[in-house]
């Protein structure tokens, strides 16, 4: 009798009834996160909006020419937008908004991922001497981002696996050109940041299997983004790095003539 009364008391408490995840989605259906997952999804990117603005401002201040400055601004705007749109979308989900506003923020959230990938590689393909192929690869990369956005809009929630593959192709392909630059500093950080993103994809596809999977994915995105931000600021931005880039161009020119 006493034990059954205790059970009823437990079931009446919020902690006892707390769900940390729901059942995985079937097919192309959208996963419905538990309420506490919605909170985690919102907080994990909201917390890093201000640090991304601060870090970006510092990077922009260090730029010593218009090319560096424009690339620093591009990366910073893309990163802040990524965190901000993600926070807004997940906050709408937390508040139970399921109308057009939520749809548009969901579409924007997906679009910003494509744009952020392109913005992450643009400084490397613009400031570093990546050759003829690398120079034109940046335009192909932005064109690929626009194609990905168009696909997401036209085939919304139709084939999520294909959409993930498109993200991965866009994320991996430009690195092949960048990492081939001889004597390039920052290649380890660039590769390590990419590895962090790739590991995060495992959680991105684990909703309903791993509790807080999407929030964990957010943290991997934060880690990869700040590793790449550090690499850009450390190896591409500033007068010292401008000199290093000139040395790489000089060495590459000499090697081609010999």
pLDDT digits (tens, 9 = 90+) for 16-65: 456 776 777 676 677 778 888 889 999 999 999 999 999 999 999 999 89
Q: Please, is 192 exposed, middle or buried when counting C-beta atoms within 10 Å of its C-beta (0-12, 13-18, 19+)?
A: middle
Is 239 part of any domain? no
Distance from C-alpha of 193 to C-alpha of 195, rounded to nearest angstrom: 5
Which residues constitute the domain of residue 166? 35-184
Is 155 part of any domain? yes
Between these two residues, 252 and 64, which has the higher pLDDT value? 64
Q: What is the mean pLDDT of residues 8-14?
A: 47
Q: At which residue do the structure tokens 């990366």 appear?
A: 75
What pLDDT score was predicted for residue 40? 92
pLDDT band at 182 (very low <50, low <70, confident <90, very high): low
Is 236 part of any domain? no
Predicted TM-score (pTM) of the model is 0.82
**Does 244 score more than 60 pLDDT?**
no
**Does 248 score more than 60 pLDDT?**
no
Distance from C-alpha of 152 to C-alpha of 145, rounded to nearest angstrom: 11
Is 220 part of any domain? no
Distance from C-alpha of 232 to C-alpha of 185, rounded to nearest angstrom: 10
Is 242 part of any domain? no
What pLDDT score was predicted for residue 253? 39
Q: What is the mean pLDDT of residues 188-213?
A: 88
Is 225 part of any domain? no
Report the b/e string of 124-154 with b at 16+ CB within 10 A: bbbbbbbeeebeebbeebbebbeebbebbee
Distance from C-alpha of 256 to C-alpha of 184, rounded to nearest angstrom: 17
Helix axis angle, 49-62 relative to 66-94, nearest 10°? 180
The most confident of the ranges 29-43, 67-81, 197-211 is: 67-81
Is 255 part of any domain? no
What pLDDT score was predicted for residue 14? 42
């Amino acid at each position: 009798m006493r034990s059954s009364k205790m059970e009823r008391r437990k079931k009446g408490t919020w902690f006892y009834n707390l769900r940390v995840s729901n059942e995985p989605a079937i097919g192309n259906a959208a996963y419905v996160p538990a309420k506490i997952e919605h909170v985690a999804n919102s907080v994990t990117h909201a917390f890093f909006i201000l640090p991304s603005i601060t870090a970006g401002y510092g990077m922009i201040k260090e730029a010593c020419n218009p090319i560096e400055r424009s690339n620093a601004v591009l990366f910073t705007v893309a990163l802040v937008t990524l965190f901000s749109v993600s926070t807004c979308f997940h906050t709408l989900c937390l508040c139970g908004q399921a109308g057009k506003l939520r749809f548009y923020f969901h579409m924007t959230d997906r679009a910003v991922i494509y744009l952020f990938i392109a913005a992450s590689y643009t400084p490397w393909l613009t400031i570093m001497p990546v050759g003829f192929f690398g120079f034109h690869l940046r335009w192909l990369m932005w064109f690929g981002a626009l194609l990905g956005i168009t696909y997401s809009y036209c085939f919304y929630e139709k084939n999520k696996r294909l959409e993930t593959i498109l993200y991965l192709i866009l994320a991996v392909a430009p690195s092949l050109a960048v990492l081939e630059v001889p004597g390039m500093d920052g290649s380890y950080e660039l590769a390590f940041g990419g590895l962090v993103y790739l590991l995060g994809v495992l959680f991105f596809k684990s909703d309903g299997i791993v509790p807080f999977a999407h929030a964990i994915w957010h943290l991997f995105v934060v880690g990869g983004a700040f590793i790449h931000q550090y690499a850009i600021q450390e190896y591409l931005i500033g007068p010292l790095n401008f000199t290093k880039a000139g040395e790489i161009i000089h060495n590459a020119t000499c090697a081609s003539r010999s």
